[in-house]
Amino acid sequence: MNPIMLVFDNDRFAELIRFVVTTAGFAVEQLNDPLALYEKVKEINPPLIIMDVFLKHIDGLYLIERLYAVKEFAQIPVLIVSSRNEPLAVFDALERGAADYLAAPINEDMLIEKVKKLLKAN
């Protein structure tokens, strides 16, 4: 299986998620520069993207919107894991087509459960 793609520009957050997901036995490919998302998605064709929406230089929801505007990417599920924990953020992400939303602080079991569910559905 192709590696799961992680899109975060907050290192500590990314490290934690990377640790949890790799420990559960999945290969991951980390992308530190969210602006390079499309090139990278094309290159590795991930079965799942885990990303933050609260990024430093670009809006995560805008990234999703543009990603899903491209037909060949429309099937890739996106799991949002974000420190932005407010009701509007969750609805906004789902409205733009994100598959699921997990707000920080992160529950490790729940994260793995969601990852497995999304990979299975795909």
Which residues would be at the binding site for other proteins (CB under 8 A)?
A: 33, 35-36, 38-39, 55-59, 61-62, 66-67, 69-70, 84, 86-88, 91-92, 94-95, 97
Residue with tokens 């602080």, as numbered in its chain: 105
CB burial of 54-76 (b: ≥16 within 10 Å; e: otherwise) equals bbeeeebbebbeebbeeeebeeb
Q: Which is nearer to other proteins, 61 or 111 (CB)?
A: 61
Q: Which is nearer to other proteins, 20 or 67 (CB)?
A: 67
Strand partners, 82: 103
Q: Which is nearer to other proteins, 84 or 117 (CB)?
A: 84
